[in-house]
A and B are shown apart, each in its own frame.
Chain A
Amino acid sequence: MLAVQNLHAGISGKEILRGLSMDVQAGQVHAVMGPNGSGKSTLAHVLAGRGPYEVTGGQALFDGADLLGMAPEERAAAGLFLAFQHPVEIPGVANMYFLRTALNSLRHQRGQSEVSPGEFLRQLEDKVSQVGLDRTLLQRSVNEGFSGGEKKRNEVLQMALFEPRLAILDETDSGLDIDALRVVADGVEALRGPQRAFVIITHHQRLLEYVRPDRVHVLSGGRIVRSAGPELASELEANGYGEARTGRSTDELARAGASR
């Protein structure tokens, strides 16, 4: 579904991603871990099409289409969703109005008709109960004055409502209480299916105990330096990134070992 090959990207002349490759199949959940400043959010933003980042090499295909040539809203319409590490406040714009505008914009781009206000409310009600969002947050301005955890829940609400094919969660589990963590996990599990995929950026193994990833990658210095199964997460939790940072990918090591 998502094929990233030798991606180079940076910002204000500084290269951050230095030849990153990863391959996410439909139906899979991939976890991306890595030290602060290693380029995880950069990867997420570049995939979502954020302007100030410049792609200087490589490619990214989404269902075979050139992702990097699409406008951010086209990527969204194609089914790519990013749960932001730092959700943005939009003063004066009611959250509920924002959600409906977004949903209808997505539908409009896909050639579907708008949802009626009644139908929208039904869908929203459903998802709001699912993620346990305080209903008063729907009337407030988008993310304005929301607590850290409320902002993250609001991101999960949007994921649930828009039902993306590929969701990238950028530290959606950071700063959450234990119940909220479950909400994130349940949000992913509710959508998980053969047609969808997830890239979960996280620093903690805890979320990955609720959502078993198919692959775990370590991103360091702008590259994936190690990839393995879910056991890698617990290993990193125990030992830190020290080893992974310097090592070659375990896949490579495994292959090297096998061929010997």
Chain B
Amino acid sequence: MDFDLSEEQRMLQESVERLISERYDFEHRKTYMKEAPGFSKTLWAQYAELGLLGLPFAEKYGGSGGGAVETMIVMQAFGRGLALEPYLATVVMGGGLIALAGSEAQRTTILPRIASGDLLLAFAHSEPQARYELSDVACTARRGADGWILDGQKSFVLHGDCADQLIVSARIGGEQRSAQGIGLFLVDAHAEGIGRRGYPTQDGLRSAEIRLSGVKVNSNAALGEPGNAADTIQRIAEHALAATGAEAVGAMAAAHELTVDYLKTRKQFGVTIGSFQALQHRAVDMLVHLEQARSMSLLATMMLDEPDPVERSKTISAATVQIRRSGKFIGQQAVQLHGGIGMTLEYKIGHYFKRFTAMESMFGDTDHHLAALARAGGLL
């Protein structure tokens, strides 16, 4: 039993946290948001230099062979700064899918370019009708002359507007919700037949609706054997949940600190508002939520490599429920305890609240995971 970070992990943590605290204050963030892709290209290059973009990939693909804990460390720091860059989309999900399911050739050509910061990916999986069912895929892949032809509609594609390549899930057979018959295809985002509509999300990130109309790809564009992608999709959703869970915990810790600081400085009735017991208790309840979430984030991180898929997915669902609930409580209370200032876009605290809110519908909302866990018999 050991919850300590290794020496190397601590160094990683220090360097990312330093970068975020130096380069991601609130004013910086506003200017990054206004840049064309909705984030900072300069910082993206710096992440590459620091080795963050290749962190989870093996050394032979230009990475540093980090694991779930390293990703957690980075995501926590990003959560603290409310980072806008497409780390989740490109490194965790895009790179993760290539590493999990890609051929040797795909890994060698793509992963080093992610690590160097030259390639942005997005995972085009969710569809408007699917709600939170991972295997609800109506998008189709038909055999073409020398490859596949893709048709369908993808929604909520995180950073889909700036991606160079998309990883698209599409059905080669089976019913719309069947776990059988789903394939994953690597598609040039500028390929003919792709319509992208990018938009800002409520939390200041970017997303896209993507329409595929007769998009032709080569046979070697398939990730793994087409038809058997459901497990890969499930795995990558778990990776994304663990990563956003860590991001949420970083954001919660920061939101809690800001709030406690505010209680110590804001004066009303001639005293700091932190002297009111009602608010002290609230701040303590927020801390309880934070610590519960932090524990579950650690658990989710450490369970990512668990071989038993049932145990793994149950634990990730349980962690997701706790983290979402904590995020909601901390976000709402942080706004409440700030009073009017909590309600403005000109102050950071409301942006944390919005980020927690946006995370709530990623790869299943709280009720979806609660129901999944309950159906599977709970944890005990």
Q: Do A and B come from one complex?
A: no
Residues of B whose CB lies within 8 Å of any CB of A are none
Residues of A whose CB lies within 8 Å of any CB of B are none
